[in-house]
Structure 1
Amino acid sequence: MAKKPVTSRRGRFFKLAGMTASVAGQFAGSRARQFLGRESDEERSLQYARMADEIVDTLGELKGAVMKVGQVASQTQDFLPREFSEALQRLQKEAPPMPFDIIRQQIEAELGAPVAELFGDLQAEPYAAASIGQVHKARLKDGTEVIVKVQYPGVDESCDSDLKQLRMALRLGGLLRMPKESADRLFEEIRIRLKEELDYENEAANIRRFRAYHERHPWVLIPRVIDSHSTRHILTMELAEGDHVSQVAPDRYDQKTINLLGERLFITMADELFDFQCIHGDPHAGNFAFRPDGTLILYDFGCVKSLKPAVVAHYRQALIAALEEDYEALDQHLVNLGARVAEKPAISPDYYAMWRNLLIEPFAGDEPYDFGRSDLHRQIAAHTHTVFRYLDRLQPAVDSMFIDRMVAGHYWILRQLGVQAAFRKHLDSYLKDH
């Protein structure tokens, strides 16, 4: 029998409090066994895995802010035990849908009329389900085909308490491997972004901004907002369909077209970062679609990060220093970005050289790099243990966190598409002083 969804603030609080108590108890028991010398590394790893499964199952059931934080945390592997970062990857998958009765009630409460008066047709089967809401296809009374994005009830009101409970669970479980000041900044940045993402009126404004900016890119399509059927918790947009990355197959997309799509993805990302200085901060595969004519379709502008010009400048200079193997300058630029603790000694050039030589691989020459066969992510995972040598000198770079998330997301999409392209000339053009 399916579990009844938890939608009240009280219900969410007790669900998270129960998880927190359980995780804290398991961690305390593990620490006691370690102190007495009765827990091996293998047993500790299994204990971490059990704790991780409990956290991930709870976050996935509750959806909302905590599930979104879990998705972000899965991409900050350097500061979590391996068992947790691996388990949190499950939250990147499509979420199970909310029952349609709850969705219909939310639509009618927000738009102030029965569904039959608002739409010519509204499909009960979800088009997509995610962490804070789900999408349904519909048709307006005038025949316009649309999608309706409906926020799960209770998610907005519970955001702050959810985050406090999740942070407590991670702290009591011994999982926040960073100074309190860094954790404060990280969770505050996540809270601000989530508050923006939970406000669909804000997302509608973001869509209008990005549509205006990408008019210079005729091959970028962003669906138009239907204002008459949109509120803070409901967002209705024209239907603009394309192929999911998993549907980009050789029968309709030859390698030349795939490479063109990859080049356009790179240009879109780099223009937003270095020129627009405002980025699409949730670049997973579900937020992109493709067409055989080379069109890119961009969805979901709830998570948008406006960047300070100084942050973009420091990020650019850090890339230049890394490419030029000037590790003294790189260290200082990372301090400026907030990724390196200023009061601590500089990090070894050998450490920077290792990461530089690894990450430069897609930009190493003029020959096309085969993203489809790339194992860069595995190489990165194999070297993450080296971070612990400098954990007292490194910290999450809050101001550039979403840049890193955007870059990582685009890497995965290029890999899934099977793009073969040489981006070094493009990169060099963006790194020139503006």
Structure 2
Amino acid sequence: MAKEESSNKGKPKKSTTSRTGRFLKLAGMTASVASRYASDRVVNAFVSEETKAGRLAKSYEKMADDVTQTLGELKGAVMKVGQIASQTQDFLPKEFSNALQKLQKEAPPMPYETIAEQIESELGGSPEVVFKHFSREPYAAASIGQVHRAVTLDGEEVIVKVQYPGVDESCDSDLRQLRTALKLGGLLKIPKQQVDQLFAEIRTRIQEELDYENEAENIRAFQAFHRDDAGVLIPSVIEALSSRRVLTLEWLEGDHINNLDPERYDQEVVNMIGHRIFTTMADQLFRFQCIHGDPHAGNFAFRPDGTLIMYDFGCVKKLKPGVVDAYKAALQAGIQGDYRQLDQRLIDLGVRVEGKPAIGEDYYAMWRDIFIRPFANASQVYDFGEANLHQLVAKNATSVFKYLDSFQPPVETIFIDRMIAGHYWMMKKLGVQAAFRPELDAYLA
């Protein structure tokens, strides 16, 4: 399994795990955010628009830092929402999305004693009894659980994912408190109905992710789908050592994206891996219609023979056939430059608000010209290592405000967008050089 070096040194931080403790921590964050927002509104009433914009940006940055620190300490559902929000500009100011990027990094680990108690509660014995060997040091730490290496009583090397105590029980109250904080901080710029749909979708995905038995089912389903895909590996579940809050998987070792030796991963191997990343993503989206919804680099590993290893199937989004069809049709319309058709397909996807005036073709053309760059030419190789799509998106982000009332958060496609963004960053980090247009055309045909 891939292991990225953790920057967390010294004694592990303790997270607040009791429901009361979590509520108080979130309530304090909410009060701080609301107070800052109220104060800014009073001051901004007496300053110029230019000064107001500058003050607002600084205020957002301060609020974002406070929120990020709190979510990182609490882990659980609120940290997961922060990770999702960091990958979208749809419903939070960009200062928040930028600050929340910190939550994509490895979280501070929980004390071993807490992990041991959870294993004993779930598996009926302490780690030292249930396993032949169990590492006291975590292999990785994330938002809702952490991973330890171990050896079974039969001598098989495994990894054990242990859920943090209390995060499942506090999920709903955490989300309510976080939503209140965003609302009182004046940060939610979309209608209440869209906020309801957005948080309902996120809640559903998080509830599924908190159920490790559900994740085991997801793993078996994805293994079956990819069983004939050479070079794609998914670790198998060790049933006897798994439960709703503990998941034990076979050990499949690979190299983390940050630790690829150029001598073992030359450009040819990197391109082979990039091809597998693209086809795996497209197969899941268009054929399986069920996608791996947590595509950050820590959930993938690689081998010098071009093998792609996929981990963590807690967050999986099963797509409605109509959504996939509409998404495919929107891509076709965009590629062909048929912006009237694109506008209708975005309405079908729930991205464009029906009943609002049609969007100017120049607006759609601008975004189309940005996103089509990796696929603009059927034969020309695109260098993802030099890709600047993210910079172009940021540069043109302000144009969104002109049509703010005409668009809404893409509830049905938010995890598709998240998957594509995650794969883009992996391609860029790897430095993939490839021409994917012919394959894209085949998927869309």
Q: In structure 1, what is the equivalent of residue 406 of structure 2?
A: 393
Pairing of 1:305-324 with structure 2 (within 5 A): 305-324=317-336
Q: Does 1:350 align with 2:362?
A: yes
Alpha-carbon distance in 1 for matches of 2:326, 2:103: 32
Alpha-carbon distance in 1 for matches of 2:228, 2:391: 36
Alpha-carbon distance in 2 for matches of 1:428, 1:3: 49
User: Higher mean Cα deviation, 99-108 or 354-363?
Assistant: 99-108
Q: Does 1:218 align with 2:210?
A: no
Which amino acid letter does the alignment assign opposite residue 138 of structure 1? A
Q: Which one of the candidate residues 33, 38, 48 is aligned to 2:43?
A: 33
Tell me, yes or no, if the aligned pair for 1:244 and 1:288 is still in contact at 8 Å: yes
Pairing of 1:264-283 with structure 2 (within 5 A): 264-283=276-295
Specify the SS of the correspondent of 2:160. strand
Q: In structure 2, what is the equivalent of residue 239 of structure 1?
A: 251
Q: In structure 2, what is the equivalent of residue 12 of structure 1?
A: 22
Q: In structure 1, what is the equivalent of residue 209 of structure 2?
A: 197
Offset, 1:3? 5.3
Q: Which one of the candidate residues 414, 423, 426 is aligned to 2:436?
A: 423
Specify the SS of the correspondent of 1:399. coil
Q: Deviations over 1:287-321 (max 9, x none)?
A: 00000111110000000000000000000000000
Alpha-carbon distance in 1 for matches of 2:219, 2:24: 36
Q: In structure 1, what is the equivalent of residue 7 of structure 2?
A: none
Alpha-carbon distance in 1 for matches of 2:261, 2:105: 21
Offset, 1:385? 1.0
Alpha-carbon distance in 1 for matches of 2:30, 2:53: 23
Q: Does 1:141 align with 2:131?
A: no
Pairing of 1:323-338 with structure 2 (within 5 A): 323-338=335-350
Alpha-carbon distance in 2 for matches of 1:3, 1:327: 52
Offset, 1:78? 3.7
Q: Which runs of 5+ in 2 are unaligned?
A: 1-10
Q: Deviations over 1:361-396 (max 9, x none)?
A: 000111110001111111111111111111101001
Identity percentage over the alignment? 62
Which amino acid letter does the alignment assign opposite residue 413 of structure 1? M
User: Higher mean Cα deviation, 29-38 or 297-306?
Assistant: 29-38
Q: In structure 1, what is the equivalent of residue 299 of structure 2?
A: 287
Q: Does 1:48 align with 2:60?
A: yes
Offset, 1:249? 2.7
Tell me, yes or no, if the aligned pair for 1:78 and 1:384 is still in contact at 8 Å: no
Specify the SS of the correspondent of 2:309. strand
Which amino acid letter does the alignment assign opposite residue 198 of structure 2? L
Alpha-carbon distance in 1 for matches of 2:394, 2:91: 13
Q: In structure 1, what is the equivalent of residue 5 of structure 2?
A: none
Which amino acid letter does the alignment assign opposite residue 222 of structure 1? I
Tell me, yes or no, if the aligned pair for 2:12 and 2:111 is still in contact at 8 Å: no
Q: Which one of the candidate residues 4, 23, 28 is aligned to 2:33?
A: 23
Q: In structure 2, what is the equivalent of residue 171 of structure 1?
A: 183
Q: In structure 2, what is the equivalent of residue 91 of structure 1?
A: 103
Q: In structure 2, what is the equivalent of residue 403 of structure 1?
A: 416
Tell me, yes or no, if the aligned pair for 1:123 and 1:136 is still in contact at 8 Å: yes
Offset, 1:346? 1.1
Alpha-carbon distance in 2 for matches of 1:231, 1:430: 38
Offset, 1:166? 0.3
Specify the SS of the correspondent of 2:108. coil
Alpha-carbon distance in 2 for matches of 1:280, 1:5: 28
Alpha-carbon distance in 2 for matches of 1:48, 1:293: 46
Tell me, yes or no, if the aligned pair for 1:78 and 1:387 is still in contact at 8 Å: no
Runs of 4+ aligned structure 1 residues displaced above 6 Å come to none
Alpha-carbon distance in 2 for matches of 1:7, 1:79: 28
Which amino acid letter does the alignment assign opposite residue 340 of structure 2? E
Q: Which one of the candidate residues 163, 181, 184 is aligned to 2:193?
A: 181
Number of aligned residue pairs: 432
Q: Deviations over 1:91-117 (max 9, x none)?
A: 111111111111111111111112222
Structure 1 length-normalised TM: 0.98
